Structure 1
Amino acid sequence: MKHVLKNGRTVYGWFATFVLVGLLLPTLSTGAVRIKDLAVVEGVRDNQLVGYGIVVGLNGTGDGSQAVFTSQGLANMLDRLGMQVDPQSLKVKNVAGVMVTAKLPPFMKPGQRIDVLLSSLGDAKSLQGGTLVATPLKGLDGEVYAIAQGPLVIGGTAPNPHLTAARVPDGATVERGVPVALQDRERLTLSLKTADFTTVRRMVAVIDQALGGGFAKARDGATVDISLPEAFRDRVVALVAELENLEVEPDLSAKVILDERTGTVVMGGDVKIGRIALSHGNLNLRVGGTQPSAPGSLLNIEDGTSLGEVVKALNAIGVAPRDMIAIFQSIKASGALRAELEII
């Protein structure tokens, strides 16, 4: 598709300033997707763990004297090891207090290991080279589910990495798992990751066809209840495995996401623009219809074009990302953009 400027030049729509990451599809269809990629079984989820820990072995980059909790935490740890010290007498430049967090996946068993993340709580300048000492990780119920310990890893290769956050790969040993009862159920519930009534309806139809009856029922736009067939009452895991590999064609809504910092446009589906005449600075944009001649560049685009083609045309004449976002906001406000607009 070509775009004709007022000066007579023909510009072919390739993007230069804005990076276009477009899911420019001929229809709103995305093709069949497995149910396991669209939904989760209710109750089968990660659980958040948290704990307060002490990092030792720092090269003078730890907390200063203002971090009273670090001195107190170190004194408490030494007390548990049989050494009584006055917290106020401790110098903690090689020690830092950290918040330790982790996700406990479902079905984890005692003895298995999970990653942990650490974030400095005091005024430590760097956690580089430190070691986390044994730290209990608790759930929101106050019970200990894992114990974390190990040398820290500072991620990133940037010239100025973030030195007050770190991780310990496989740094926590699970002490107890969170029970997930799948057996002895009469019903399973699938929760869509993104609510959509059309997708739910299609999912119900696919499940009923696979099970040979009316076993599935949509509770709302994000939930499907499935009555267990008699043949699967004692084989729920097998049923879940069968269900999650069924394929459903999700319905894709028209949406445009703009990132002003990186200059990225992401579009879902074939986003269309209605007829519009717009003037922005010395740029005059016309999509379909007619418009009187005006000073500046005239970007003339035929009726029924997609937003992706408009982006390419604007890039071809050097429209800046900030101006691009202002143009899209104006198009949306006029009602000509037939999609949801989100700016991040």
Structure 2
Amino acid sequence: MARRAGVALAVAFGLALATAALAAEGTTRVKDLGKLRGWRENALVGYGIVTGLAGTGDSPTNATTRQALSNVFEKFNLSIPASQVQSRNVAVVMVSAQMPPFARAGDSLDVTVSSAGDARSLVGGTLLVAPLQAANGRTYALAQGPIDVGGYRYDANGNVVQKNHPTVGSIPNGATVEVGVTAQTLSPDQTITFDLTDPDYTTASRIATAINAKLGASLARARDAEGVEISVPSDQRDQLVSFVSRIEAVGVEPDRRARVVIDERTGTVVAGGDVRIAPVAISQGDLKISISTYNSVSQPIGLWGGNSGVRTALVSNSTIDVNEQLGPGYVPPRSNTVADLVQSLARLKTNTRDVISILRAIKAAGALHAELVVQ
């Protein structure tokens, strides 16, 4: 009897887990739908000098390179006028990096280095210390190190062999953070705001409802289609990380906009599987006209005796071929989607370019109930 009870309990527990999995199948975590306001990366930029190039640097007539190298020499008590600097082994470059929202002093950043002069290649070069500044003009990181270039360029006697772009390279972990930053997510009124990546009123309302149900209090409210404002209780302000972690784990079923994306350059069509189309008749066909010209030579035979006016003649014969294929006709039922339409057109052996034209025509006819995005 006890064994039967245990089996029944195990079956009931398994059914409960399966029901919970099915219920959560269509949900998405809140953290996958957007980010907290204030959570952003900061762009850093600076300029520096790359040395050690094998004659592929900036030309000796480049005034910027000469002045920059003269300034470097000046820091080491070498007074060399810019007019006397002559070298093809250095290049002036721009250095850029992205600083994460939470960065501490001593953290490393990846750096991108790109030539700012007329250097032919940065292969084998080493970046000297370059300060990286933010938009406020303050220096937050220092970059230095050997450059990794995924290409090359060699030329001799007018012959050039090049792979990829040798004037752009990277330095993994090439910058060291000197001044740390911290994202300010908690506002002065003790609230945090969650911003949706794709603003939508329905999704914002569902997020606020789900958060309130999870926390057991009316702390969240949708301010607009993009932002959901969440009040932080006084007992959670010292444990903000744990509080935000609970919010990010809340499951929500986001509302989707009906959208069809068309990339005409590659012939790609992407649409949601449930995008509906109204009843519409489609007829598609091709008219091909081919004009061919064949040239032939007419050579008279046996008329040369005393007939000075007889000459070889060039004769052109043209043919016109008109081929009109019967276009396939198709009338989708009332419950069809864009996915059904595309599959039906594929069975009719309709190429991708024609499918794009058909979708655009359906949208123009008012039968496609979705936003058509053409890239």
Tell me which interval the TM-score lies in, with the shorter structure as reference length.
Answer: 0.7 to 0.9
Q: Of 328, 345, 353, which residue of structure 2 is paired with 1:298? A: 328
What does 1:175-190 align with in structure 2 at a 5 Å threshold?
Answer: 175-181=178-184, 186-190=190-194
Equivalences, count: 305
Flag structure 1 segments of 5+ consecutive residues without an equivalent: 1-28, 284-293
Q: Which has the higher helix share?
A: 2
The aligned counterpart of 2:276 is: 272
Kept after mapping to 1: 8 A contact 2:283/2:329:
no
The aligned counterpart of 2:57 is: 62
Distance 2:141 2:79 in 1: 27
The aligned counterpart of 1:248 is: 252
The aligned counterpart of 1:86 is: 81
Deviation (angstroms), 1:317 = 4.9
Change (3 A) 1:299 1:278: closer
Deviation (angstroms), 1:320 = 4.4
Structure 1 letter corresponding to 2:328 = L
The aligned counterpart of 1:44 is: 39
Kept after mapping to 2: 8 A contact 1:30/1:251:
no
Q: Of 141, 149, 165, which residue of structure 2 is paired with 1:154? A: 149
1:98 aligns with 2:85: no
Kept after mapping to 1: 8 A contact 2:201/2:226:
yes
Distance 2:44 2:124 in 1: 24
- Superposition RMSD in Å: 2.6
Kept after mapping to 2: 8 A contact 1:149/1:172:
yes
Q: Of 188, 192, 196, which residue of structure 2 is paired with 1:192? A: 196
Structure 2 letter corresponding to 1:119 = S
Is the deviation greater in 73-82 or in 168-177?
A: 73-82
What does 1:1-344 align with in structure 2 at a 5 Å threshold?
Answer: 31-65=26-60, 67-155=62-150, 160-181=163-184, 186-282=190-286, 296-303=326-333, 304-344=335-375
Change (3 A) 1:332 1:134: same
Q: Write the deviation string for residues 251-294 of structure 1: whole angstroms up to 9, x where unpaired.
A: 111111122222322223422222223445529xxxxxxxxxx9
Distance 1:246 1:199 in 2: 13
Kept after mapping to 2: 8 A contact 1:64/1:124:
yes
Change (3 A) 1:102 1:340: same
Distance 1:249 1:237 in 2: 24
Higher RCO (Cα < 8 Å, 6 or more apart): 1
Q: Write the deviation string for residues 136-162 of structure 1: whole angstroms up to 9, x where unpaired.
A: 0001111100001111122489x8312
The aligned counterpart of 1:5 is: none
Percent pairwise identity: 43
Change (3 A) 1:77 1:315: farther
Distance 1:81 1:89 in 2: 17
Structure 2 letter corresponding to 1:175 = E
Deviation (angstroms), 1:167 = 1.1
Distance 2:183 2:256 in 1: 32
Structure 2 letter corresponding to 1:43 = G
TM-score (norm 2): 0.74
